[in-house]
Amino acid sequence: MGSRRKAEAAITALLYRYAEHMDHGNFAGAAELFRHARIKLGEGNWVDADTVHKIWEASVRRYEDGTPRTKHVTTNVIIEVAPDGRTATARSYYTVLQQTAVLPLQPIIAGRYHDRFARVHGLWRWTERDYTLVDLVGDLSHHLLMTLPREAAASGAG
């Protein structure tokens, strides 16, 4: 397997590992994936891994099983590895599904991720994630412990 394919496989695994951590309610594990990154939450609002972990802990509802009862589905992944093989970008779509005892299975939010990666100590790591690219918003009332501002959802800045 060529180095470009190895990079693509490693980055894809990171994207899927993030979804797995979030769906298991392992917000510490998800945040650790961003240890070398900055995360965009709004215009001019960039945070680090520790801050995003605190935000998730304070704002995402967990159920009796310790999970948010979600499935993050990541699709349409496009990875571009720099010619030197040291950095990469990725664009992907996400759809979050949720089902609870009172909420039937349904998509609750969908959008895009724009990510940047670099090799850190020989391993691919996030260096940047943009969370502002929200395209579709459904019923988040069973997922979040706060209300997503309507103007943020409408503008894609949520």
Work out the burial of residue 125: count CB atoms within 10 Å of its CB; fewer than 13 is exposed, 13-18 middle, 19 or more buried.
Answer: middle
pTM: 0.91
Dump pLDDT digits (tens) for 58-98. 999 999 999 999 999 999 999 999 999 999 999 999 999 99
CATH number at residue 74: 3.10.450.50
Domain holding 137, by residue range, is: 3-155
User: d(Cα 45, Cα 49) in Å, to the nearest integer?
Assistant: 13
- Write out the two tokens for 133: 């690219």
Q: What is the pLDDT of residue 149?
A: 61
The rounded Cα 97 to chain-centroid distance in angstroms is 14
Domain count along the chain? 1
User: d(Cα 120, Cα 124) in Å, to the nearest integer?
Assistant: 6
